[in-house]
Amino acid sequence: MRFRRHRTEDPEINLIPFIDVLLVVLIFLMLTTTYSKYAELQITLPTADAERLRERPSEVIVNVTADGRYLVNRKPVEGRSVDILALELVAAAAGRTDAVVIVSADATSAHQSVINVLDAARRAGLARLTFAAQVPEGSR
């Protein structure tokens, strides 16, 4: 009698149940993850850790105090309107449209006061703006 030998099949790994389990775990993690609400964060501005410019072109420094008063190149501005501030910026830039406006606002100043400076610079035709910030204590 002659018996046939059975061929042994190579074992194969079925990946479909593994993928199903991974998808279920992924869905579970997506549903149970909580996301941070950035609107509820308390932040303190401004601080920055960048190198200072060594060579400065013509610049106009606008200081904004905590109570909303403005100083253009250390000269107090009478009034708080955008039009008066724009006239002061034109005078301080001395007709140069490439002058850089440096906004140096107090950290507790109103946001509207800083926006007024940006609006006045736009009205004065000064498109180059930057913000001054202090270096944090630990990074000096």
Residue 63 is part of a domain; what is its CATH number? 3.30.420.270
Q: Count of domains in the chain?
A: 1
> pTM of the predicted model, to two decimals?
0.57
Range of the domain at 99: 59-135
Q: Residue 100: which of 137, 61, 138, 68 has the closest Cα?
A: 61
Residue 109 in tokens: 């100043």
pLDDT 10s per residue in the chain (140 long)? 667 777 777 778 889 999 999 999 999 998 888 765 554 445 565 666 666 655 555 888 899 988 888 999 888 888 888 999 999 988 888 878 788 999 988 888 888 988 999 999 999 888 888 888 877 776 65
119-136: burial string, b at 16+ Cβ within 10 Å, e else:
ebbeebebeeeeeeeeee
Residue 1 lies in a domain: no
